[in-house]
């Protein structure tokens, strides 16, 4: 492969109609849409030689406010032009490029990341969702957010998160260090904010699902602690749907 030029991109996307970050044959993906757009303004670009790499691989239905990715291009492009060209060929679809900047070959969107952050959005009301359909988890029954936040603090720190790990997770170890897990309410909106260097597959959704049980009064703070300590996926209370999950940022 001849000389290439690496670019760091900050992306926003609506995951409602996407199969997730990674390219798949059964529907549109963030990676696939970006690669198709790139080939249209840079014919020499070959995805087989240089795929877009993201800070995190989001699942189908999951959204991003500030996902970071990198790509190696066979030609040098002014950052503003790259951003505008990609957005032009993305054609007002579910993916948009917020920023683009040239970086050294040492930068890696995934391996250079020091901390990733997610937000989970619950709308807690009786009425069905209209504007926020597929953008938040609709929960009709009242949730005790104070109890949820208090219970959540037991998950902060270094733990074996096997209970909150998808059976399809490919991570070598279930042990992760959770830096933050906060629950707050703003009217009918409930936000669960979390950050860590890395997460297991479905970890955030699984943690939210268990906190949901706490909010309903079905689980106590002790029940959540025991589920964590069991390190057993069958002890999971619930896996929250992807609709309310947003990748919000990454630190390098």
Helix (H) or strand (E) holding 13: strand 5-13
Give the whole-angstrom CA distance, residue 41 versus residue 23.
20
Give the whole-angstrom CA distance, residue 140 versus residue 128.
8
Q: What angle do CA 20, 12, 149 make, to 5 degrees?
A: 80
Go through 145-167 and write b for each residue having 16 or more CB atoms within 10 A of its CB, e for each that does not: bebbbebbebbeeebebbbbbbe
The DSSP secondary-structure symbol of 233 reads G
Residue numbers annotated as active site = 59
Q: What angle do CA 15, 16, 20 make, to 5 degrees?
A: 40
Give the whole-angstrom CA distance, residue 145 versus residue 221.
12
Please list the alpha-helical segments (H only) found in the chain: 30-41, 79-90, 145-152, 203-216, 221-230
Could you tell me which residues come within 8 angstroms of residue 188 by beta carbon, excluding any fewer than 6 positions away?
A: 123, 124, 125
Helix (H) or strand (E) holding 177: strand 175-186
């Amino acid at each position: 492969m001849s000389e290439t030029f690496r670019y760091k991109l900050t992306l926003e996307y609506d995951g409602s109609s996407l199969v997730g970050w990674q390219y798949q044959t059964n529907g549109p993906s963030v990676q696939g849409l970006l690669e198709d757009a790139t080939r249209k303004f840079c014919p020499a670009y070959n995805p087989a030689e240089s795929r877009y790499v993201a800070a995190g691989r989001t699942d189908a239905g999951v959204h991003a406010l500030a996902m970071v990715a990198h790509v190696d291009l066979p030609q040098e492009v002014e950052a503003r032009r790259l951003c505008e060209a990609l957005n032009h060929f993305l054609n007002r679809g579910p993916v948009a490029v917020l920023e683009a900047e040239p970086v050294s070959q040492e930068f890696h969107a995934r391996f250079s990341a020091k901390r990733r952050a997610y937000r989970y959005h619950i709308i807690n009301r009786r009425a069905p969702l209209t504007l926020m359909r597929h953008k938040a988890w609709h929960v009709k029954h009242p949730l005790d957010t104070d109890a949820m936040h208090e219970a959540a603090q037991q998950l902060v720190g270094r733990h074996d998160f096997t209970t909150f790990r998808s059976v399809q997770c490919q991570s070598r170890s279930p042990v992760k260090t959770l830096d933050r897990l906060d629950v707050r309410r703003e009217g009918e909106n409930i936000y669960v904010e979390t950050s860590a260097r890395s997460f297991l597959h479905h970890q955030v959704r699984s943690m939210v699902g268990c906190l949901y049980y706490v909010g309903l009064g079905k689980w106590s703070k002790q029940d959540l602690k025991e589920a964590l300590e069991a390190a057993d996926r069958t002890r999971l209370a619930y896996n929250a749907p992807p609709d309310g999950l947003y990748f919000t940022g990454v630190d390098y």
